[in-house]
Amino acid sequence: MSDVFISYARSTEAQARQVADALRGLGYQVWRDDELPAHRPYADVIDERLRSAKAVVVIWSADAARSEWVRSEAERARGDHKLVQLTVDGARLPMPFDQIQCADLTGWTGDHQASGWLKVVGSIADLTSSGDAGQARPQSSDVQEPRPRPAGRSHSVCVLPFANMSGDPEQEYFSDGISEDIITDLSNISSLSVVSRNSAFQFKGKHVDVRQIVRQLGVSHVLEGSVRKAGNRVRITAQLIEGAADSHIWAERYDRDLTDIFALQDEISQAIVSALRLKLLPAEKSAIGRRGTDNVDAYNLYLMARRHWVSGNSDRVGLEELLRLARRAVGIDPAYAQAWALMALAQTTLHFRHGASDDGLAAAERALSLDPNLAEPHAVKARHLDTYGRRDEADAELELALRLDPESYDVNFSAAFIRFRQQRLSDAIRFFEAAATLSETSFGAPGMLVTCYAAVGDREGELRSARLALERAERAVADDQSNGQAMGMGASALAALGEHARAREWIARALLIDPENRSMRYNLVCALSLHLGDVEGANDLLAPYLATATHSELQHALVDPDLDPLRDDARFKAMFADAQARLATADRPQP
């Protein structure tokens, strides 16, 4: 069988032939569809070759982006973790492939030292390195470490999550926050390409060879470091590594008072600029030093609150703790826009899922008054407007949020959730896929994709999403055994994967540990209804949920395809009708 499968649109056949010939010259066995046998069905051969290939090279072009065949083959390769992407015309890639590294071979003439080609070959070498011992492989002298350069940018860097050396896992939020702020600072430099947070954080807690990161992400440099926070003192070590030579070009250790943390972050960013000999524009110099707050105590509280949010556990107790932290942060610094935005997200969730009176709109408006360019508060407003039937206004807020920050997890998840409520499942899938890519910890996005793909009859997409949701849910539960949201999503993923006995174990454990978690209970109902075929068990769990359901929760249940197996059941109909009657008499304040 072949090492490499090549997928392309017919209009780029010449480029596909050029790529195939170059790879064969390096010793790879390559297959593309010019080799289809005359006696076998096309689809059978494609399926067989895709399954057996160790790497799938997708040649993107404007026509390829519109081709159902190319997109299907790319999705199959993505799910099997063997996708290698390149573009030959610079056309925009379809989602979710635009969230994945793509080598630029626009105008490529066959130069084996071209940065885009080195990126492709490096990825293929990684994917095929576990092949049979007797099979031909490029030798080290044939392939150099890829160092692609985005147009107009002389260097690219991956900021790895700084290691928490405090001896206290609870301090993880602080080291993560430092890493994220340095990524944000460096992203303001036009001459420097910076790997996104979600791509960098996939290496969190892992011992990874720098050269592997360079090949996988196509960067020229890697920044790694550690943070030790003790009392009012902080020690940060950082080192910048040149990828091709795996050599340090800058390293430093800082011991400071915690009150100096902002100046310290600026020093690290400026040191990297100096080490790479970059020239900053005046606006870039000021952007590096721009912070949401100048108060260290408010900053620390915000990082603690944000850690709650990214855990994915939306139970009432956790969200109320988050709010206490955020309120304290804005109490210290009333102009802290990011803290107001986080407060708005939490209050909106508490309002829609737990019936809290404060709906988060005031906090969203306060955040926007302080920083009109924050995307998340616009997503909060869109969620409210859609819930109350004002869809045109909701769509306008959503489009603005996506324009302000297309790589925000919260914005993409909100867009997906709104489209799901509107029963526009293809759009919901697109945004949930983006959200799943933009967060390395989110189990909610792949969990919702299980529902969406099952509804549209895409079993392959359903299984792939269920595996990802389970993997992330297991990590979340290992980190916090009381994370009911993760247990509920994990049980549903197990049921979708056909692991029914284990799903039942998770359900029993979840109800024992966190029986009052509403979102968890609903996800368990979905598992019992759609995947386990247990109508009676689903109704038993749903009864107390519907008895206290909010307008938003009932609206969701009304359109959720996971509950379709229950809709003809007499008991379900009665419970749902009672919930509708109860809410019909309740006041519904308009946003």
Domain extents in the chain:
4-128, 155-291, 440-591
Angstrom distance (rounded) from CA 126 to CA 124: 5
> And the tokens for 213?
């990161």
| 155-291 and 440-591 agree in CATH topology | no
- Strands of the sheet with 83-87, listed across from one edge: 30-31, 4-7, 55-60, 83-87, 103-104
Provide CATH code, domain 440-591.
1.25.40
Question: Tens digits of per-residue pLDDT, 267-323?
Answer: 888 888 888 888 777 766 766 766 789 899 999 999 999 988 887 777 788 899 999
CB neighbour class for 358 (10 Å; exposed up to 12, middle 13-18, buried from 19): middle
Q: Say if residue 133's pLDDT is above 60.
A: no
Cβ contact 159:200 at 8 Å: yes
Render the burial of 84-112: b for 16+ CB within 10 Å, e for the rest. bbbbbbeeebbebbebebbbbbeebeeee
Q: Say if residue 148's pLDDT is above 60.
A: no
Render the burial of 529-541: b for 16+ CB within 10 Å, e for the rest. bbbbebbebbbeb
Question: Tens digits of per-residue pLDDT, 337-363?
Answer: 999 999 999 999 999 888 888 999 999
Angstrom distance (rounded) from CA 258 to CA 461: 47
Q: Rounded to the nearest 5 degrees, what angle is found at the Cα of 225, between the Cα atoms of 223 and 226?
A: 160
Q: Per-residue confidence at 43, pLDDT binned at 50, 70, 90?
A: low
Angstrom distance (rounded) from CA 403 to CA 381: 15
Please tell me the least confidently modeled range out of 118-127, 292-301, 418-427: 118-127
Please tell me the least confidently modeled range out of 162-171, 237-246, 284-293, 500-509: 284-293
Closest listed residue to residue 128, CA positions, set 19, 215, 35:
215
Please tell me the least confidently modeled range out of 87-91, 274-278, 315-319, 583-587: 583-587
Mean pLDDT computed over 441-466? 94
Q: What does pLDDT average to over the chain?
A: 86
Mean pLDDT computed over 560-566? 96
Mean pLDDT computed over 444-472? 94
Q: Which residues, 6+ apart, have CB-to-CB distance to 329 below 8 Å?
A: 293, 298, 299, 301, 302, 305, 336, 339
User: What does the pLDDT read at residue 488?
Assistant: 94
Cβ contact 265:178 at 8 Å: yes
Provide CATH code, domain 4-128.
3.40.50.10140
Q: Which CATH superfamily is domain 155-291 in?
A: ABC-type transport auxiliary lipoprotein component (3.40.50.10610)
User: What does the pLDDT read at residue 142?
Assistant: 35
Q: Are strands 247-257 and 192-194 parallel, antiparallel or unpaired?
A: unpaired
